[in-house]
């Protein structure tokens, strides 16, 4: 019988546990090695690097097992974890993360954990005291994941320790997401260790692009919403006007000034056959926030002449197809629109909440998309829009206590609205069948010709499927989108002289939510 084996926790290798789990064999994760805390620096080997960071010994944890072990139930496949983990190596980043973590914990939608993984030898109680918090007003679970001899460890050892610590965190907590700060306030070894191991474990790693005070809305998202943070994609679609491009340039400038949380969406611009020379000069020098040319796509129509309503609708529908219908969505913008710098924050929050949250089942099924604009008039007449009162039984995820209230409307929007990828694919099939029937049974037009022809079919589609758009409520004070009339141009398919004479730009009022 062997007598030279080290304790079982020290011999734990997560790679052996994964096949056992897949085979259905019971497995309980061992506690991280509770190495005896050492006082003073470790001995320096002859081949050790110069400088104060020289230790490269095996990885042991003093305290991690003591706090993780109580959560071992998740290793046996019990109810899905609601855990969200905040992690940090820098005391600066920990101080920044704490307000967001505390607010999220007080929402009670998630089980919030915070893991320390740095070199600083400061107690958890000391960190709480410096940041002015205690367990009563900040009900998060603390874990000390700092490796032994961290103060003297090389960056390579610290990176290994971070990866090893995250493996234990995954084994015990099964977090839906790990949230960290970015390069500006975090250690390189920490971010590299987290990123590599999170990718290997299939755990969402959310790197915050700014201070948490600017994105506190994240606290209202549940763990399932956060799991989709990195996978959700938004593509912007704009159809450029045929004549003066002043309004279009104004829109592009507002898009360039927006905050995209570190990752700008793709932009597709549909150009007419006859393009305004001023617009071509502008596009030639335009710099998109991503600084990557493949984020911007220009498409110029080859066919000369004006499209009819059916052709224009097909052109719009065919301009976008999602790579992943469940994760990629299209934001349709009118050249007359101008967006606020924070519009993307609102979109990301709203899509994650109503498309991917635990309670989004019925909501996601009935929503065609999300509007950034609350129109002052219906696209069919000049009557005021009366949105229905929220039916909380049918839409349990719509919370009237939100900072910006929302309402439902069974009316499409072409000025500034996001349409979900899966619903857009469904709309393409609907439009194909609808146009085939229209050859023998033309339909009566409902939508005003101030709007693109595709709006007519979107309205039919919404009524046929009982779909809705989520609109910002009129009671909200924040303006996400403004639609201007000073440079108004009718849709190309309705730009004949008779229509232009009967519908003057003066009849189109500035609209904002």
Per-residue model confidence as pLDDT tens digits over 466-485: 999 998 876 555 689 998 87
Q: What is the DSSP letter of 154?
A: -
Any idea which of 4-18, 31-45, 159-173, 403-417 has the lowest mean pLDDT? 4-18
Provide the pLDDT confidence category of residue 101 given band limits of 50, 70 and 90.
very high
Q: What is the pLDDT of residue 408?
A: 86
Q: Is the pLDDT of residue 388 over 60?
A: no
Q: What totals of helices (H) and strands (E) does the chain contain, helices first?
A: 15, 16
Mean pLDDT within 440-456: 77
Q: What is the pLDDT of residue 74?
A: 53
Q: Which of 169, 196, 226 is the last residue of a domain?
A: 226
Q: Is the pLDDT of residue 12 over 80?
A: no
Any idea which of 102-106, 290-294, 453-457, 506-510 has the lowest mean pLDDT? 506-510
Higher per-residue confidence, 396 vs 224: 224
Any idea which of 102-106, 261-265, 420-424, 503-507 has the lowest mean pLDDT? 503-507
CATH of the domain at 309: 3.90.550.10
CATH of the domain at 176: 3.40.50.2000
Let me know whether 260 and 189 are in one domain: no
Q: Is the pLDDT of residue 52 over 50?
A: yes
Mean pLDDT within 362-368: 89
Let me know whether 337 and 422 are in one domain: yes
**Full-model pTM:** 0.84
Q: Which of 50-64, 379-393, 443-457 has the highest mean predicted lDDT (pLDDT)?
A: 50-64
Residue at 502 is within a domain: no
Let me know whether 85 and 174 are in one domain: yes
Residue at 258 is within a domain: yes
Let me know whether 297 and 368 are in one domain: yes
What phi, psi does 163 have (nearest 5°)?
A: -65, -40
Q: Is the pLDDT of residue 111 over 60?
A: yes
Let me know whether 222 and 251 are in one domain: no
Residue at 497 is within a domain: no
Q: Is the pLDDT of residue 19 over 80?
A: no
Residue at 28 is within a domain: no
Let me know whether 268 and 248 are in one domain: yes
Residue at 271 is within a domain: yes
Higher per-residue confidence, 415 vs 43: 415
Q: Which of 226, 256, 275 is the last residue of a domain?
A: 226
Let me know whether 176 and 293 are in one domain: no
Q: Which of 226, 248, 278 is the last residue of a domain?
A: 226
Let me know whether 218 and 243 are in one domain: no
Closest by alpha carbon to 388, among 466, 446, 477, 451?
A: 466
> Do 203 and 178 contact (CB within 8 A), yes or no?
yes
d(CA 266, CA 421): 14
How many domains does the chain contain in total?
2
Residue at 1 is within a domain: no
Let me know whether 211 and 238 are in one domain: no
Provide the pLDDT confidence category of residue 450 given band limits of 50, 70 and 90.
confident
Provide the pLDDT confidence category of residue 17 given band limits of 50, 70 and 90.
very low
Give the residue numbers spanning the domain of 122. 51-226
Residue whose pair of structure tokens reads 């961290």 in the numeric block:
150
d(CA 195, CA 112): 20
Q: Which helix (H) or strand (E) covers residue 296, if one does?
A: strand 296-300
Residue at 209 is within a domain: yes
Residue at 154 is within a domain: yes
Q: Is the pLDDT of residue 83 over 90?
A: yes
d(CA 420, CA 327): 8
DSSP string, 336-399: TEEE-TTHHHHHHHHHHHHHHSTT-HHHHHHEEEEES---SS-TTSSSPP-PPPP-TTT-TT--
Provide the pLDDT confidence category of residue 171 given band limits of 50, 70 and 90.
very high
Let me know whether 178 and 126 are in one domain: yes
Long-range contacts made by residues 46-50, C-beta under 8 angstroms, separation at least 24?
A: 49/154
Let me know whether 287 and 414 are in one domain: yes
Q: Which helix (H) or strand (E) covers residue 370, if one does?
A: strand 367-371
Let me know whether 203 and 263 are in one domain: no
d(CA 283, CA 246): 13
Q: What is the DSSP letter of 489?
A: -
């Amino acid at each position: 019988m062997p007598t030279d084996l080290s304790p079982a926790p020290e011999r734990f290798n997560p790679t052996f546990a994964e096949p056992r789990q897949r085979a259905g064999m019971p497995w309980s994760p061992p506690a991280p090695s509770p190495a005896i805390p050492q006082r003073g620096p470790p001995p320096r080997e002859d081949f050790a690097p110069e400088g104060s960071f020289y230790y490269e010994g095996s990885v042991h944890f003093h305290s991690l097992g003591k706090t993780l072990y109580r959560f071992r139930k998740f290793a046996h496949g019990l109810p899905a974890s609601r855990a969200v983990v905040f992690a940090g190596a820098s005391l600066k980043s920990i101080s920044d993360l704490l307000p967001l973590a505390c607010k999220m914990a007080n929402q009670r939608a998630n089980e919030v954990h915070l893991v320390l993984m740095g070199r600083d030898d400061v107690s958890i109680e000391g960190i709480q005291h410096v940041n002015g918090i205690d367990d009563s007003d900040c009900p998060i679970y603390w874990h000390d994941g700092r490796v032994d001899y961290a103060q003297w460890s090389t960056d390579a050892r610290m990176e290994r320790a971070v990866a090893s610590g995250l493996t234990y965190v995954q084994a015990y907590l099964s977090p839906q997401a790990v949230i960290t700060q970015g390069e500006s306030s975090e250690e390189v070894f920490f971010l590299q260790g987290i990123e590599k191991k999170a990718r290997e474990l299939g755990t969402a790693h959310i790197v915050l692009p700014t201070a948490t005070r600017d994105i506190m809305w994240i606290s209202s998202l549940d763990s399932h919403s956060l799991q989709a943070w990195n996978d959700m994609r938004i593509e912007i679609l704009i159809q450029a006007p045929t004549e003066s491009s002043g309004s279009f340039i104004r829109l592009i400038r507002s898009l360039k000034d927006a905050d995209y949380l570190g990752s700008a969406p793709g932009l597709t611009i549909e150009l007419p056959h006859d393009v305004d020379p001023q617009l071509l000069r502008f596009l030639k020098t335009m710099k998109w926030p991503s600084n990557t040319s493949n984020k911007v796509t220009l498409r110029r129509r080859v066919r000369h002449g004006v499209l009819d309503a059916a052709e224009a609708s097909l052109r719009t529908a065919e301009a976008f197809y999602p790579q992943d219908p469940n994760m990629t969505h299209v934001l349709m913008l009118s050249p007359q629109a101008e967006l606020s710098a924070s519009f993307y924050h609102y979109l990301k929050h709203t899509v994650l909440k109503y498309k991917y949250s635990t309670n989004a089942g019925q909501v996601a099924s009935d929503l065609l998309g999300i509007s950034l604009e609350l129109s002052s008039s219906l696209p069919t007449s000049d009557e005021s829009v009366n949105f229905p009162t929220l039916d909380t039984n049918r839409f349990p995820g719509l919370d009237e206590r939100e900072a910006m209230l929302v309402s439902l409307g069974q009316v499409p929007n072409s000025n500034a609205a996001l349409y979900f990828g899966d619903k857009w694919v469904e709309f393409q099939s609907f439009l194909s069948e609808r146009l085939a029937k229209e050859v023998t049974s033309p339909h009566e037009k409902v939508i005003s010709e101030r709007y693109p022809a595709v709006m007519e079919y979107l309205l039919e589609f919404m009524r046929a499927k009982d779909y809705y758009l989520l609109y910002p409520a009129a009671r909200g004070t924040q303006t996400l989108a403004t639609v201007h009339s000073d440079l108004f141009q009718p849709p190309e398919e309705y730009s004949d002289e008779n229509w232009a004479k009967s519908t003057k730009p003066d009849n189109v009022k500035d609209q904002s939510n």
